[in-house]
Amino acid sequence: MTAVRPSAHRIGPPVMLDDATIVRRREALEHEYGTLHDLIVKRNGIGLNPQERIALRKLEALDYLEGE
């Protein structure tokens, strides 16, 4: 077995999203998966597939970035 030494990873600079970018990302997610409310209702009912779970988390993150 070959041992691997841990290596340091550099974290890049923070990514700043402007309001227009947030709106575009939200619209793209809502077009493909539905609104945040729709996904929450579906999650509580029949459940979400993995892609829908990721979309739900992204929509929640966009709400946070918008200050809602």
pLDDT at res. 1: 58
Q: Report if residue 43 sits inside a domain.
A: yes
Residue 5 lies in a domain: no
The domain of 51 spans: 19-66
- Mean pLDDT in consecutive groups of 10 residues from the start of the chain, 68 residues: 76 86 95 96 94 96 88
Q: CB within 8 A of 50, min separation 6: which ones?
A: none
pLDDT of residue 10: 83
Q: Residue 24 domain-assigned?
A: yes
Task: Report the C-alpha gap between 26 and 55 in whole angstroms.
Answer: 10
Domain count, the chain: 1
CA 52 from centre of chain? 10
